Amino acid sequence: MTKNRLHAIVCKGSFFVFFCRERYNKKDMNTHKNTLGILGGGQLGRMMVEAASPLNLKIKILDPNPEAPCANMEVDFVVGDFNDEETVYAWGQDCERITIEIEHVNIAALKRLRDEGTVVYPQPEILEMIQDKGLQKQFYATHDIATSDFEVVENAQDDSRIAVPCVQKLRTGGYDGKGVAVLQTAQDKENAMPGPSVLEPLVDIEKEIAVIVARDEQGNIETYDPVEMIFDPVANLVTRLAAPANITQKQSAQATELATALMQKLEMVGILAVELFLTKDGQLMVNEVAPRAHNSGHHTIEACVTSQFEQLVRCVMGLPLGQTRLKEPAVMLNLLGEPGHTGVAQYIGMHEALALPGVSVHLYNKKDTKPMRKMGHVTIVAPTIEAAHANADAVEKVLKVVG
Amino acid sequence: MTKNRLHAIVCKGSFFVFFCRERYNKKDMNTHKNTLGILGGGQLGRMMVEAASPLNLKIKILDPNPEAPCANMEVDFVVGDFNDEETVYAWGQDCERITIEIEHVNIAALKRLRDEGTVVYPQPEILEMIQDKGLQKQFYATHDIATSDFEVVENAQDDSRIAVPCVQKLRTGGYDGKGVAVLQTAQDKENAMPGPSVLEPLVDIEKEIAVIVARDEQGNIETYDPVEMIFDPVANLVTRLAAPANITQKQSAQATELATALMQKLEMVGILAVELFLTKDGQLMVNEVAPRAHNSGHHTIEACVTSQFEQLVRCVMGLPLGQTRLKEPAVMLNLLGEPGHTGVAQYIGMHEALALPGVSVHLYNKKDTKPMRKMGHVTIVAPTIEAAHANADAVEKVLKVVG
């Protein structure tokens, strides 16, 4: 982003800060002037709406699925394709501010809306860059953000610069582990997914860490404590998260610094989930980012002073940042559809899970389950992280989603 | 309650425990069989719905006000009088379980529904007793629950047994300080509110304490730490609450014991807010109770492992009790309509309040303010209660509701 662009944003920001100071002090707070638009009505949108409920904000959502998790909430729910320019543009006409719960949305419409005076956070240019994993990696490289080596290639099959074993990431369209593959052999490389990709040598990973950073219109930054993510090796999905991460204080400070530096260089308004590798030789490097509420911050609902969802709402609506302090250690489990089960969801062991100490269950209001679909999550708080892990083990044993 | 009645409840309870173990494990969890009915759609209902959202429960509400705080939430909202027997009875037909957010509801309808198989918690007989402050006091007296002296009178004017200064409480219909008066002089007594009342000598109060007790169908009990309530002397409304209360450990244990004993003697299922006097000579005595979510438990949303609202939902739906542990000290401020202001609510100082550390704002989605109307509340958490009080002082200075 150029300095001029930043300047324009800051000026616009100042106007809206004034506006927002007056947000709750106006006769017209029940009009559309107070409406927060969210592109996407899935579970992240649902938890944003839950977080915004006590702030009395009007919310308008666009999602193609009439049975999306947000469909029947206290929102203006519009069914439509958030990848279609005219649909997004028309939908956004009566929003005061717009944000996203999924980054794969139409950018042209967001730019038009922004240029006509609607506040859009994260800024469309940043979404556009992050949508493309090639541009994302190039941004890290040109801004001195530690990241693994990489090559941007037209087709993984044809590239000879990165040898197997390596990781292939499609530049666009990936989500929840889709569009990412480990190429172990020459054969794998020949059969690689077609299309423009990023190739990275395999990194010898000790742990995967995530830091959520929030930045407001004035450039103030708050970070959440680094968390540790444990993945399902097959589905490449986070299955368990521990807050705080079991890393040294120095590593924790370094991870926070790296995530903060990235947010400052992006000059983004909103929240950014920064996923990091801690390598076996002790290096921290950015893997990838999500410019929105993220699975690695679900524990913040119960464990932190301000949840990531409220924090995002505060950022986007021009309200001050909330505190991020961890009130108690927490473990978060994703509640994934059992392999082999498809159909109307049934939750086995809910009674037993809720009887365990410190358990909060979040179901996403999805009618049908399918293998490894994110159906909900469970947060377990405890006075120590060890106790939280032990109770999480017990939850994991009893709670299943079947069809 | 007789032993037989208890036995009947326990048996019915066992059946429903089995049923509830299967709650989330059924194809029909989206049918009415899963519906929780709530009588009353005010702010307490609103916070119950917010708490129930992650549990994917279907909720049906009855409230006479089409603009009630719950009106547009993800609920089946029916406009009607919860004091009218036929209205309540018809409304309750398709609820699996029913509870309340206000105790002044029609009891005859609840008894009919219960007798026909709908689970109603708190039990209608307990609501009926608690609706009448005379019966409430007599229950304490006959069950060895420490309470202040009292006389049940037909008319305060005519009674000579309790001398002024004394407190008059109308036996029925009081709410939020209404129906309660301090009679300082003989003149006050002559002008006392007409109608059946309880008269109590003035108690020399050091502090007012509240303990919220939860009891499930099996008789398991969990209590929240005692909190300290600070009242507005004019409106007789809680303005500030501190958790934990600034009392000795021994007093805290005694208050908890007293509240637990009362809950056990009531054999109630649900949550009970027990308001206690700590007298200047160190005695603890029950003042009155509310058999529902209560203003003295609002801090539990941010400060405790399980909020009072989720706890009530768990009790009523036959789910296991959650932990009540205080994660961090908290102060709760009621956000009352400024005296002298009536009309469409405007919130002055919201931006400044949200910028203070540890602040969570809850607005109740009420369109109009009036003097001392409960428009919302603010919870301030901090690592120490002193810090929470200091930040609460700052919130109190900046945040106002005007019309």
Q: pLDDT digits over B367-403, tens only?
A: 999 999 999 999 999 999 999 999 999 999 999 999 9
pLDDT above 50 (res A293)? yes
Q: Where are the beta strands (DSSP E) in A28-75?
A: 35-39, 58-63
Determine the Cα–Cα distance for residues B40 and B61; give it in Å rounded to an integer.
6
pLDDT at A25: 57
Determine the Cα–Cα distance for residues A105 and A131; give it in Å rounded to an integer.
9
Q: Do A30 and B367 touch (CB under 8 A)?
A: yes
Selection from B222, B384, B56, B268 nearest residue A357 by Cα: B222
- The secondary structure of residue A23, as a DSSP letter, is T
Selection from A179, A308, A306 nearest residue A241 by Cα: A308
Residues 6+ away with beta carbon under 8 Å from B189: B156, B157, B164, B166, B183
The per-residue pLDDT for range B355-374, each reduced to its tens digit, is 999 999 999 999 999 999 99
Q: Do A21 and B351 touch (CB under 8 A)?
A: yes
Q: Counting beta carbons within 10 angstroms of the beta carbon of residue A231, is it exposed (0 to 12), middle (13 to 18) or buried (19 or more)?
A: middle
Tokens at B66, concatenated: 């089409």
pLDDT above 70 (res B23)? no
Q: Do B24 and A314 touch (CB under 8 A)?
A: no
Higher pLDDT, B201 or B27: B201
The per-residue pLDDT for range A113-134, each reduced to its tens digit, is 999 999 999 999 999 999 999 9
Tokens at B319, concatenated: 């789910």
Determine the Cα–Cα distance for residues A117 and A401; give it in Å rounded to an integer.
45
Average pLDDT in the A178-206 region?
A: 92
Q: For chain A, how long is the longest CA-to-CA vector?
A: 67
The per-residue pLDDT for range A70-116, each reduced to its tens digit, is 999 999 999 999 999 999 999 999 999 999 999 999 999 999 999 99
pLDDT above 90 (res B249)? yes
pLDDT at A143: 97
Residues 6+ away with beta carbon under 8 Å from A60: A35, A36, A37, A38, A75, A76, A77, A78, A91, A94, A95
Determine the Cα–Cα distance for residues B10 and B220; give it in Å rounded to an integer.
12
Determine the Cα–Cα distance for residues B203 and A35; give it in Å rounded to an integer.
51
Determine the Cα–Cα distance for residues A203 and A164; give it in Å rounded to an integer.
12
Determine the Cα–Cα distance for residues B140 and A118; give it in Å rounded to an integer.
61
3-state secondary structure (DSSP) of residue B286: strand
Identify whether the C-beta of residue B197 lies closer than 8 Å to the C-beta of residue B156.
yes
* Lowest mean pLDDT across B22-26, B170-174, B305-309: B22-26
Residues 37-56 of A with CB under 8 A from B: 46, 50, 53-56
Using the Cβ of A360 and the Cβ atoms of chain B, whether some distance falls under 8 Å is answered with yes
Higher pLDDT, A232 or B75: B75
The per-residue pLDDT for range A358-375, each reduced to its tens digit, is 999 999 999 999 999 999
Q: For chain B, how long is the longest CA-to-CA vector?
A: 67
CA distances from A143 to A147, A172, A264, A265, B99 (A): 11, 21, 11, 7, 58
Name the average pLDDT for chain B. Answer: 91
Average pLDDT in the A145-163 region?
A: 90
pLDDT above 70 (res B21)? no
Average pLDDT in the B275-292 region?
A: 96
Q: Please give, rounded to a whole number of angstroms, the shortest distance from the CA of B29 to a CA of chain A.
A: 8
Residues 6+ away with beta carbon under 8 Å from A115: none
Identify whether the C-beta of residue A82 lies closer than 8 Å to the C-beta of residue A106.
yes
Kind plus residue range of the DSSP H or E element containing A83:
none
Selection from B36, B11, B7, B12 nearest residue B317 by Cα: B36
Average pLDDT in the B22-34 region?
A: 50
pLDDT above 50 (res A14)? no
pLDDT above 80 (res A1)? no
Tokens at A155, concatenated: 């087709």
pLDDT at A367: 93
What one-letter code names the amino acid at A160?
Answer: S
Average pLDDT in the B70-76 region?
A: 96
Q: Please give, rounded to a whole number of angstroms, the shortest distance from the CA of B387 to a CA of chain A.
A: 14
Residues 6+ away with beta carbon under 8 Å from A340: A371
Q: Cα angle vertex B139, ends B136, B142, to 5°? A: 150
Higher pLDDT, A72 or A6: A72
Ordered DSSP codes for A175-226: BTTBTEEEE-SHHHHHTPPPSSEEEEEPP-EEEEEEEEEEE-TT--EEEPPP
Name the average pLDDT for chain A. Answer: 91
- The secondary structure of residue B49, as a DSSP letter, is H
Determine the Cα–Cα distance for residues A101 and B69; give it in Å rounded to an integer.
26
The per-residue pLDDT for range B167-207, each reduced to its tens digit, is 999 999 877 678 899 999 999 988 999 999 999 999 999 99
Tokens at A323, concatenated: 């505190």
pLDDT at A21: 47
pLDDT at B29: 43
pLDDT category of residue B6 using cuts at 50, 70 and 90: very low
Identify whether the C-beta of residue A20 lies closer than 8 Å to the C-beta of residue A319.
yes
**Chain B residue with minimum CA distance to A346:** B25
Q: Which span out of A45-49, A231-235, B53-57 was modeled with the highest average pLDDT?
A: A45-49
B344, B351, B365: best mutation site toward chain A, by most A Cβ within 10 Å? Answer: B351
Place of tokens 């690689």: A192
CB neighbourhood size of A206 (10 A): 15
CB neighbourhood size of A128 (10 A): 16
pLDDT above 80 (res A320)? yes
Contacts of A361 in chain B (CB under 8 A): 54-55
pLDDT at A7: 38
Q: What are phi and psi of A4, to 5 degrees?
A: -60, -45
Residues 180-239 of B with CB under 8 A from A: none
pLDDT at A231: 84
B17, B20, B23, B24: best mutation site toward chain A, by most A Cβ within 10 Å? Answer: B24
CA distances from B225 to A388, B73, B147, B311, B383 (A): 22, 31, 20, 14, 16
Contacts of A330 in chain B (CB under 8 A): none
pLDDT at B1: 37
pLDDT at A24: 66
pLDDT above 70 (res B33)? no
